[in-house]
Amino acid sequence: MTAIVRMPWPLILAASLAMFTAAGSGTTRAPFLIDMARDLDATVPMVANLVAITSIAWGGTSMIAGPGCDRWGTRPFLIGGPLALVFAATGVAVSETFLTVAIFATIAGGCCGLFTGVVFTEVSSRVAPTHQGRALGWVMSGQSLTLLVGVPLAALVGAYVGWRGVNFCVAGLALLTSISLALTTRRPVGAPHSRGSRATSMRNALSRPVLQLLSMGVLERICYGLVAVYYATFLQSTYSLGVHEVALPLAIFAIGNIVGTILGGQLADKLPNRLALFATGMFASGIIALGLFGWQISVPVSVGLGFAYVFFNAIARPALMASLGSVPEHIRGTVMGMNVTCSSLGWLGAAGLGGWMIGGVGFSGFGPLAAIVATAGGGLALIPIGVKPVRT
């Protein structure tokens, strides 16, 4: 008789809320770039570049939080990180100059780095290995919901309270996140602070197999970011669409991301080879990228190909996260923290490569570029990774 594995749904929902809040702390600025530039006496590119600044801070603090939660436990980061975000988001809301907004936005990115990787560590520790793909898929769906729900809702609320009011709302969500994580992590995992007794160095944690997995994560994030960052611009420049006309395609794109993430989590737990699933998703998205940017026949076709691209890309992500979550518990935080740092590098790479490609050959070069990166990521997944992913 097969034993029933109970999923910690309250924790999973709290973790999903944490990812929604963290992603929303930056992406909810998207509808207000012009308003912020006008109020702060800055240019739109200056305001838009806050994303890169916060991404660097996010990745930097993740490198600290990962080893830190291995040594001192996860709760200080899960509770303290969102509480610090309350302060940072409030600071953004009340700032009167671009410099102070940039400072508080950077602090906000750093606050997110303190708890996002730790969230995955905590969920991985409380879920059976056979269910980690599903659990982490649901957690990641919180980040995807930011595109589908968070940004449109921010635009709606911002029409009444402005961009400053939206940042106060982010602060409220961060407070709710801290309370939710505090309530759902009261029961310790194993012996209290057991990680600290076996704390290991960063060098030992980042073994060759783990570095292979992290490299795959960088390439996957570049593939996702190339389309996520430039998809609306691609549709607008290709088909002369207005801002309001890309709302539905962006919603469909977000739905593809959510559905792919949830399905990918299910498949990661059911299939015998998680990395083969990752490779399949990456290869498929690479092929679709060639059609998405090379076959510009109509808006419905491009929207359908955009859905397919992000769907297969999202299928790959939970398999990778579940593989990372399978490392020994005493270094899981370090590995998950480095994964967030590598994701930040992937986003920066996507923004940089995309901008370079647009300035050179235009969107026609995006298809081959995405295909090359996706093939490299899928190819890495097919290299035998060994029995033990880390040195213990």
CA angle 162, 163, 168 (to 5 degrees): 100
Environment class of 255 (CB within 10 Å of its CB; exposed 0-12, middle 13-18, buried 19+):
middle
End-to-end CA distance of the chain: 34
Residue 163 half-sphere exposure, CB side, CA atoms within 13 Å?
Answer: 22
CA angle 121, 123, 129 (to 5 degrees): 95
Q: Which CATH number fits the domain 200-385, given the four candidates 2.70.70.10, 3.50.50.60, 1.10.510.10, 1.20.1250.20?
A: 1.20.1250.20
pLDDT by residue for the chain (392 residues), tens only, comes to 344 457 889 999 999 999 999 988 888 887 787 788 889 998 877 887 787 788 889 888 988 888 888 888 899 999 999 999 999 999 999 999 999 999 999 999 999 999 998 998 899 888 888 888 888 888 988 887 887 788 778 878 888 888 999 999 999 999 999 999 999 998 766 444 344 444 455 666 777 888 999 999 999 999 998 888 788 888 888 898 876 787 788 888 889 999 999 999 999 989 888 999 999 999 999 999 999 999 889 999 999 999 999 999 999 999 998 888 887 777 788 888 888 888 888 888 887 888 788 878 888 899 999 999 999 999 999 998 754 444 43
What is the CATH code for 9-199? 1.20.1250.20
pTM of this structure? 0.78
Helix 151-184 to helix 9-27 angle (10° resolution) is 140
d(CA 232, CA 346): 19
Give how far Cα 168 sits from Cα of 51, 176, 279, Å. Answer: 19, 13, 41
CA distances for 199 relative to 69, 113, 195, angstroms: 10, 20, 6
Question: Nearest 5 degrees, angle CA 287-CA 290-CA 291?
Answer: 100
pLDDT at 191: 40
Indicate the domain borders of the chain: 9-199, 200-385
Domains 9-199 and 200-385 share a fold: yes
